[in-house]
């Protein structure tokens, strides 16, 4: 992602009243594990979806490793976890466990009503953002 595009996406997320993320990690044929984070947010009353993070994970891939990579990016770009309204994963143990997985590491940082899901991202985000937009009166 070029610096300009990345900066623009980060600014839009920071200016949005809320955002949600989908997190996935996969290993390619060369045993390189890639972490992908896609963000969906409100930009001038329109929902936008963009790739936020594409990061190689060089060591073992635990929930804590995934959390540390995302947390490092969020801290470095001053993205506020309190505005995160939803987290969608594939349901893998490293993602969805309540103690040592990504979810367990994120829960203390998020609003108690933040939704976690392992359903398809499109379905989850559509349902979550419709609910939020209705409550915020964005039609």
Mean pLDDT for the chain overall: 80
Q: How far apart are CA 81 and CA 31, in angstroms?
A: 31
CA distances from 63 to 39, 95, 103 (A): 19, 6, 8
Q: What are phi and psi of 20, to 5 degrees?
A: -135, 160
Answering whether pTM is above 0.75, one says: yes
Q: Is the pLDDT of residue 133 over 70?
A: no
Structural domains for the chain: 1-136 (3.30.420.40)
Confidence of residue 126 (pLDDT cuts 50, 70, 90): low
Give 65-120 pLDDT, tens digit per residue: 888 999 999 999 999 999 998 888 876 666 655 656 777 778 888 877 777 766 55
Give 13-72 pLDDT, tens digit per residue: 999 999 999 988 887 777 788 889 999 999 998 999 999 998 888 766 788 888 899 999
- Give the strand order in the sheet containing 19-27: 46-57, 33-43, 19-27, 84-88, 115-117
């Amino acid at each position: 992602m070029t610096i300009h595009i990345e900066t623009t996406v980060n600014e839009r997320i920071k200016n949005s009243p809320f955002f949600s993320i989908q997190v996935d990690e996969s290993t390619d044929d060369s045993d390189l594990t890639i972490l992908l984070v896609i963000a969906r947010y409100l930009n001038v009353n329109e929902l936008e979806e963009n790739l936020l993070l594409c990061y190689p994970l060089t060591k073992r891939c635990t929930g804590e490793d995934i959390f540390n990579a995302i947390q490092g990016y969020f801290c470095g770009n001053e993205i506020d976890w309190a505005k995160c309204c939803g987290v969608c994963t594939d349901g893998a143990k490293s993602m969805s466990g309540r103690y040592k997985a990504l979810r367990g590491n994120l829960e203390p940082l998020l609003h108690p009503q933040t939704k976690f899901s392992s359903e398809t991202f499109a379905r989850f985000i559509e349902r979550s953002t419709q609910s939020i937009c209705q409550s915020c009166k964005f039609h």
